[in-house]
């Protein structure tokens, strides 16, 4: 028994490291009250150590803590995304003018960031519905608190309340779905449910109808986490109201956790493991439960509504919120494909999305710190005032649109290829049309930055060397992965293995 | 007469729907929280009913965790409500522009 | 009608009545009192289902901790009743009613007409010993050890954050 536990603990090392960082951040905050940078450096180091420990888990394929958590290459990939986002967001936070205003204590901020990251890492690995619920709640609770952290700003606490109400309702719906699945199958373990389902479904229409309701309710929880339409209502308000560093973290890490969990839920639970005569790398769904259609509808709605509403936005943070809803839609199309190729495409997309989206938010943060505004009309003449910053933002936005030679193009290319290969041509066409709409609203930003003249009084924007360095760190992968993408693709293709699936 | 499982399940669905209706129609943030608590409790009833009829402890364990989470959520939610009240002197979710397009 | 079914129907009626009253009451404080009454009814139902520990926890955690906190905040903020005028809400209310009715009828259909999903038709024989402190403790520290530990972190996070958000400036 104790040997077993020790073995489990050794595979749990990254999560343990981030937990210890959390506790250390709270203690360090008490000791170094006057120097918030100490805590920031400590948390940064903690995230780096967690990342290094994750590297040591390459190739592991195991289930630990009586089946609560799976440690497989799929989980490790998404945990790495979360940790990388964490590292970058800690660096952003050290630079942020909004957070580092005089008199604000940041110790708890960093501790909550660790808690959120831990929750998202657990989401990536959870293979039991109970563990999924706890992981969602840990990441959600700390996200509510983080988005309300600048509490003297009315927007911030409003955002926090909206986030909490939507979050609590959707987790309530999800819990109801979980309870129905438990009633149907008698278990909360994904693989046990998978084994029980064929017999349940053979019972006839009522059982498969109940399963459909359970699936829809569970989808409410996942949809909320990845901000897919129609569970997206919180996204624009929270993205606009929260401190921008947190917006950036939520847009990447929270989505990564949510996607990992959703894919594991559907793939482990509803795939017919006994199906024969299938081409390698494709999956068969269980008879009598057509969840793929549900996901396809969600994908189309998210892409279209996200992009269409983004056209009308004037606040760049809010615009990026709608664009992130649209990106959730693009990534959902990879789930519909039902093959390892689609799964790898989602991972490639996440790999590039990490850099381009964080980069875009970082530029918005730097500009907002200097000009005090996130309004697109205030971006007039930024190109003249700070050429490097403007060019960097332009590159990130081009990449988000998905044009070559940036990394975003590669992400979209792999998704579209997977869609067309598996016969979902209409979905690929919808996604391509949506990219055109996206181009329209991003061009508005370019035009303001480069073609409109600045007002004479506006001062130039100068960046510190650390800010320049951070921009370069984000810019290089965004451009490089557009040209030399083989390593990322290979990594994604090697990471499609989930524990307990063929 | 032994009470069948479906009676418990129907009772819990009724309570769940009443809770959802409350969340959608009420405007006071604290009352909305209470309605969410009602939803969670109705789910707990479903889980315990399944657990007893199936003879497995898993459902009751999940209820235990759901209670702990509900307590944490209530603490955080009320702290946020207090923070909002300090800024805006109201806890009416219509006045704080919820569901803004 | 056995005693047990009489008790069930009484508790069920009581729970639904208090739930509805909670939702329609305009004063937050009165709503809170109805919700507490509802929680007592649920605790009694848990006892009918042989879940002793959870019945006690229901009272201790929900009524003793959560609802006391809620009532405390309501009184602290001295909230007024919600106004009667709600023009814009009318549409939302109708949507709610339609959605709720649809959902309700669907699930009731599944459970009642088409039969229940779970296999057992009566409370299983072992249920009596299932909900005791002993068996729950074994489950929590055996199979569910990791979620149990993570929950402690969840509570730590909640305490930390609640203090940060609710404390006054400076």
Identify whether A307 is part of a domain. Answer: yes
CB contacts, 8 Å: B82 with chain A: none
* Burial zone of C24 (CB within 10 Å; 0-12 exposed, 13-18 middle, 19+ buried): middle
- A265 close to B (CB below 8 A): no
Domain that holds residue A392: 291-502
Judge: B64–C19 Cβ closer than 8 Å, yes or no. Answer: no
Between CA C24 and CA C82 the distance in angstroms is 11
Does residue A420 contact residue A412 with C-beta atoms inside 8 Å?
Answer: no
- C52 vs C109, residue with greater confidence: C52
Q: Which of A471, A283, A217, A502 is nearest to B46 (CA)?
A: A217
Between CA C116 and CA C155 the distance in angstroms is 36
Judge: C74–B22 Cβ closer than 8 Å, yes or no. Answer: no
The complex scores an ipTM of: 0.95
Does residue A478 contact residue A356 with C-beta atoms inside 8 Å?
Answer: yes
- Decide if domain C3-117+126-131 falls under CATH 1.20.120.1200: yes
- B98 close to C (CB below 8 A): no
CB contacts, 8 Å: B61 with chain A: 130
Identify whether A282 is part of a domain. Answer: no
Does residue A452 contact residue A407 with C-beta atoms inside 8 Å?
Answer: no
Helix or strand or coil: residue A168? Answer: helix
Q: What six digits make up the tokens of A431?
A: 């996604």
- A133 close to B (CB below 8 A): yes
Return the pLDDT at B101. Answer: 41
Judge: A213–C110 Cβ closer than 8 Å, yes or no. Answer: yes
Question: Which residue in the block uniquely carries the two structure tokens 């093959």?
Answer: A339
The minimum CA-CA distance between A149 and chain B, rounded to whole Å, is 10
Identify whether A62 is part of a domain. Answer: no
Q: Is the dihedral of CA C24, C30, C32, C35 positive or negative?
A: negative
Helix or strand or coil: residue A70? Answer: strand
Q: What global pTM score does this model have?
A: 0.94
Does residue A25 contact residue A110 with C-beta atoms inside 8 Å?
Answer: yes
Q: Is the dihedral of CA C167, C168, C169, C170 positive or negative?
A: negative
Residue C120 has pLDDT above 60, yes or no: no
In order of their start, the domains of chain B are 5-88 (1.10.287.3510)
- C159 close to A (CB below 8 A): no
Beta carbons within 10 angstroms of residue C112's beta carbon: 14
Q: How many CA atoms lie within 13 A of A398 on its CB side?
A: 17
Does residue A184 contact residue A172 with C-beta atoms inside 8 Å?
Answer: no
Judge: A115–C151 Cβ closer than 8 Å, yes or no. Answer: no
Does residue A54 contact residue A48 with C-beta atoms inside 8 Å?
Answer: no
Which stretch, A244-258, B73-87, C119-133, has highest mean pLDDT? A244-258
Distance of CA A70 to the CA centre of its chain: 19
Distance of CA A322 to the CA centre of its chain: 14
Residue C119 has pLDDT above 60, yes or no: no
Cα dihedral A325/A329/A330/A334 (nearest 10): 140
Identify whether A201 is part of a domain. Answer: no
A288: left (phi over 0), alpha (psi -120 to 50) or beta: left
Provide block-wise average pLDDT over 10 residues at a time, chain A (502 residues): 81 96 93 86 96 92 92 95 96 88 84 97 96 96 92 81 92 93 90 88 75 87 91 90 94 96 91 67 71 90 94 91 95 90 94 96 91 84 86 94 91 94 92 93 88 70 87 94 92 88 70
Identify whether A344 is part of a domain. Answer: yes
Between CA A181 and CA A185 the distance in angstroms is 6
Rg (alpha carbons) of chain A, rounded to whole number:
22
- Closest residue to C28, CB basis, from B13, B28, B68: B28
Cα angle for residues A109, A111, A114 (degrees, 5° grid): 110
The minimum CA-CA distance between B98 and chain C, rounded to whole Å, is 12
Number of inter-chain CB pairs under 8 A, B vs C = 241
Tens of pLDDT, residue by residue over C26-84, are 889 999 999 999 999 999 999 999 999 999 999 999 999 999 999 999 998 877 666 55
Q: What six digits make up the tokens of A205?
A: 């229409």
Return the pLDDT at C81. Answer: 65
Q: Which of A65, A189, A74, A172 is nearest to A121 (CA)?
A: A74
Judge: A108–C147 Cβ closer than 8 Å, yes or no. Answer: no
The total number of structural domains in chain A stands at 1
**Domain residue spans of chain C:** 3-117+126-131, 132-170
Identify whether A59 is part of a domain. Answer: no
- A98 close to C (CB below 8 A): no
pLDDT band, residue C85 (cuts 50/70/90): very low
- A309 close to B (CB below 8 A): yes
Q: Which residues contact B41 (CB under 8 A, 6 or more apart)?
A: B15, C38, C39, C42, C62
């Amino acid at each position: 028994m104790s040997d077993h536990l020790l073995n489990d603990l050794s595979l749990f090392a990254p999560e343990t490291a981030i937990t210890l960082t959390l506790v250390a951040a709270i203690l360090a905050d008490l000791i170094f009250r006057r120097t918030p940078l100490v805590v920031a450096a400590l948390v940064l180091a903690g995230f780096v150590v967690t990342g290094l420990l994750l590297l040591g888990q390459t190739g592991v394929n195991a289930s630990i803590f009586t089946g609560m958590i799976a440690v497989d290459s799929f989980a490790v990939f998404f945990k790495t995304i979360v940790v990388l986002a964490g590292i970058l967001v800690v660096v952003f936070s050290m630079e942020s003018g909004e957070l580092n205003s005089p008199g604000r204590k940041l110790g708890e901020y960093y501790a909550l960031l660790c808690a959120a990251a831990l929750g998202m890492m657990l989401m990536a690995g959870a293979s039991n519905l109970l563990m999924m619920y706890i992981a969602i709640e840990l990441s959600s609770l700390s996200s509510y608190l983080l988005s309300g952290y600048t509490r003297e700003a009315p927007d911030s606490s409003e955002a926090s309340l909206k986030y909490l109400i939507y979050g609590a309702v959707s987790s309530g719906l999800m819990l109801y779905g979980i309870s129905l699945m438990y009633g149907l199958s008698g278990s909360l373990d994904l693989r046990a449910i998978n084994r029980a389902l064929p017999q349940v479904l053979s019972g006839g229409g009522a059982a498969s109808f109940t399963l459909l309701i359970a699936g829809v309710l569970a989808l409410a929880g996942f949809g909320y986490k990845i901000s897919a339409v129609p569970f997206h209502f919180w996204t624009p308000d929270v993205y606009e109201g929260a401190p921008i560093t947190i917006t950036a973290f939520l847009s990447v890490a929270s989505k990564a956790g949510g996607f990992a969990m959703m894919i594991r839920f559907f793939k482990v639970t509803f795939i017919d493991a006994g199906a024969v005569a299938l081409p390698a790398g494709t999956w068969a769904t269980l008879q009598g439960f057509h969840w793929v259609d549900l996901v396809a509808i969600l994908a189309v709605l998210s892409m279209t509504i996200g992009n269409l509403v983004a056209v009308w936005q004037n606040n760049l943070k809010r615009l990026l919120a709608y664009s992130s809803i649209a990106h959730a839609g693009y990534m959902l199309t990879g789930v519909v494909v039902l093959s390892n190729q689609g799964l790898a495409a989602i991972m490639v997309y996440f790999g590039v999305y990490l850099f381009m989206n964080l980069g875009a938010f970082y530029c918005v943060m730097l500009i907002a710190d200097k000009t005090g505004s996130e309004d697109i009309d205030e971006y007039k003449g930024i190109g003249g005032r700070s050429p490097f910053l403007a060019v960097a933002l332009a590159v990130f936005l081009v990449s988000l649109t998905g044009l070559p030679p940036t990394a975003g193009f590669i992400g979209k290319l792999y998704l579209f290829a997977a869609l067309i290969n598996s016969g979902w041509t209409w979905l690929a066409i919808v996604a391509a049309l949506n990219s055109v709409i996206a181009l329209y609203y991003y061009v508005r930003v370019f035009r303001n930055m480069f073609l409109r003249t600045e007002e004479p009084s506006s001062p130039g924007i100068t960046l510190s060397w650390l800010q320049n360095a951070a921009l370069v760190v984000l810019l290089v992968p965004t451009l490089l992965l557009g040209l030399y993408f083989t390593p990322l693709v290979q990594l994604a293709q090697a990471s499609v293995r989930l524990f307990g699936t063929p | 007469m032994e009470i069948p499982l479906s009676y418990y399940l129907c009772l819990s669905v009724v309570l769940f729907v009443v809770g959802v209706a409350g969340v959608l129609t009420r405007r006071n943030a604290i009352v909305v929280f209470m309605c969410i608590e009602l939803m969670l409790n109705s789910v707990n009833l479903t889980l315990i009913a399944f657990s007893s009829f199936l003879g497995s402890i898993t459902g009751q364990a999940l209820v235990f965790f759901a209670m702990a989470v509900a307590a944490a959520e209530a603490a955080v939610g009320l702290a946020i409500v207090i923070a909002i009240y300090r800024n805006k002197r109201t806890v009416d979710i219509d006045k704080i522009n919820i569901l803004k397009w | 009608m056995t005693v047990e079914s009489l008790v069930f129907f009484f508790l069920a009626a009581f729970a639904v009545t208090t739930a509805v009253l909670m939702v329609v009451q305009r004063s937050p404080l009165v709503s809170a009192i109805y919700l507490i009454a509802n929680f007592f009814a649920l605790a009694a139902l848990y006892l009918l289902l042989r879940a002793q520990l959870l019945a006690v926890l229901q009272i201790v955690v929900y009524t003793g901790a959560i609802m006391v906190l809620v009532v405390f905040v309501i009184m602290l903020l001295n909230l007024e009743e919600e106004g009667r005028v709600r023009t814009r809400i009318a549409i939302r209310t109708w949507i709610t009613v339609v959605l709720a009715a649809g959902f309700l009828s669907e699930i009731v259909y599944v459970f009642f007409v088409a039969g229940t999903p779970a296999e057992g038709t009566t409370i299983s024989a072992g249920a009596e010993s299932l909900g005791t402190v002993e068996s729950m403790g074994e489950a929590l520290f055996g199979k569910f050890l990791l979620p149990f530990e993570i929950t402690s972190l969840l509570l730590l996070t909640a305490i930390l954050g609640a203090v940060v958000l609710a404390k006054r400036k400076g």
